[in-house]
């Protein structure tokens, strides 16, 4: 019994958002009993695209592709400031290509390795926080960079050019602020990084890159999503079953639960009137504030039921990913990773995290409110 309890506690700790989403959906099921309309809640394309991207990323991660790519980039630089900038930029770019949570799971361990092996642990909290902000804000530029982007991109059928155009300004501001922070708060002290060679398996690298290209083509509507949903799992089933096992299934189920929650909430008259009224006053402000309390993914799914102003909603649920610790699933991933290495510095981390995140949020919300 004790072992079962320990397993349950561990699962809840690692998948807090998924558990909350489940109970939120369950509560709304009592208010709106299951019926035929439940079938219309789910966006199968979003779920299939997310699964395909996550599966291929896990396969690439298993052959150390991203680790090798990041380490080679870091080795080019010789001091702490440039090294940390490289780590943050790698996370920034990685979030645009492999989604923010996967970018953090891939590059946070590298950040720890670089700092601990060069004796610069004093920058650990700052680096993790900047990588976290970079992952949340870097992913805003592409439809698959953040889970909420993929959902809104599909739900509103946003043209590719328009999507990038909407997100270009907040993306540019984010790059500038992150760069300034790294330059100001990190000294240019010399570093030496151990050189250990890791060779990529040529065949698997080529195959996985082809699968990655296929998954991206699906996201950008170049290929029907069901083709990727058949091809990618089938190939990985024979080549790398561990990649299929390593997919973040709780994240997928989180989407399922939030689809149910959002669908039911949209059918409650009082909720519909309240949210429609608030979003009519300021979609940008309300969506940003919503993220601070219920996170950016559920905010996107829920609020999309009450407004057609996808431009402001898209910006709001992206810049709203910075702020509180629960504003984004990615922030919880970073917090978990930091406390694993520094269990006695939780309070210090939260204070520093809040200072930087709310600073970024204030600047981004201020600028976007007047554009």
Q: Residue 190 — φ and ψ, nearest 5°?
A: -65, 145
- Residue 190: strand pairing partners: 79
- Scanning the structure block, which residue is given the tokens 């300004």? 169
Give which of 26, 213, 196 is closest to 113, Cα–Cα: 196
Q: What is the pLDDT of residue 129?
A: 96
Q: What percent of the chain is modeled with pLDDT above 70?
A: 97
Q: What is the pLDDT of residue 196?
A: 63
Structure tokens at 211: 């699968």
User: Residue 223 region, left (φ>0) first, then alpha (ψ -120 to 50), else beta?
Assistant: beta
Higher-confidence residue of 2 and 289: namely: 289
Task: Render pLDDT for 9-48 as a digit per residue (tens, 0 to 9).
Answer: 777 777 777 788 889 889 999 999 999 888 888 878 778 8
Task: Render pLDDT for 158-195 as a digit per residue (tens, 0 to 9).
Answer: 998 999 999 999 999 999 999 999 999 999 888 776 66
Q: How confident is the model at residue 238 (pLDDT cuts 50, 70, 90)?
A: very high
Distance CA 82, CA 299 (A): 36
What is this structure's pTM? 0.77
Angle between helical axes of 225-239 and 202-219 (0-180°, round to 10): 160
Q: How confident is the model at residue 114 (pLDDT cuts 50, 70, 90)?
A: confident
Q: What percent of the chain is modeled with pLDDT above 90?
A: 39
Q: Give the range among 6-15, 115-124, 329-338 with minimum mean pLDDT.
A: 6-15
Higher-confidence residue of 113 and 184: namely: 184
pLDDT at 309 over 90: yes
């Amino acid at each position: 019994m004790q072992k079962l309890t320990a397993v349950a506690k561990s699962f809840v700790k690692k998948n807090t958002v998924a558990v909350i989403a489940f109970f939120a959906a369950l509560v709304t099921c009592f208010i709106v009993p299951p019926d035929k309309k439940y079938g219309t809640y789910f966006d199968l394309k979003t779920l299939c695209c997310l699964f395909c991207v996550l599966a291929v990323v896990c396969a690439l991660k298993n052959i150390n592709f991203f680790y090798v790519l990041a380490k080679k980039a870091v080795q080019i630089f010789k001091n702490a400031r440039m090294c940390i900038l490289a780590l943050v930029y790698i996370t920034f770019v990685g979030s645009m290509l492999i989604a923010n949570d996967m970018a953090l799971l891939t590059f946070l361990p590298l950040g720890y390795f670089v700092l601990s092996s060069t004796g610069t642990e004093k920058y650990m909290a700052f680096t993790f926080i900047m990588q976290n902000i970079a992952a949340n804000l870097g992913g805003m530029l592409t439809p698959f960079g953040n889970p909420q982007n993929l959902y809104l991109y599909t739900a509103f059928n946003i043209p590719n050019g328009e999507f990038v155009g909407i997100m270009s300004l907040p993306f540019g501001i984010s790059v500038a602020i992150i760069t300034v922070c790294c330059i100001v708060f990190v000294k240019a002290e010399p570093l030496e990084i151990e050189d250990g060679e890791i060779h990529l398996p040529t065949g698997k690298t080529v195959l996985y890159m082809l699968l990655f290209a296929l998954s991206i083509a699906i996201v950008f509507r170049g290929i029907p999503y069901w083709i990727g949903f058949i091809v990618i799992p089938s190939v990985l089933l024979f080549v790398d079953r561990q990649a299929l096992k390593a997919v973040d299934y709780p994240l997928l189920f989180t989407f399922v639960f939030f689809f149910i929650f959002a669908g039911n909430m949209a059918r409650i008259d009082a909720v519909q009137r309240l949210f429609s009224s608030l979003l009519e006053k300021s979609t940008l402000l309300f969506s940003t504030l919503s993220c601070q309390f219920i996170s950016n993914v559920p905010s996107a799914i829920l609020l999309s039921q009450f407004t057609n102003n996808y431009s402001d909603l898209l910006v709001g649920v992206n810049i709203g990913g910075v702020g509180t610790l629960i504003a984004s699933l990615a922030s919880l991933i970073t917090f978990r990773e930091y406390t694993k290495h520094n269990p006695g510095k939780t309070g210090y981390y939260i204070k520093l995290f809040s200072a930087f995140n709310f600073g970024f949020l204030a600047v981004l919300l201020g600028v976007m409110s007047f554009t």
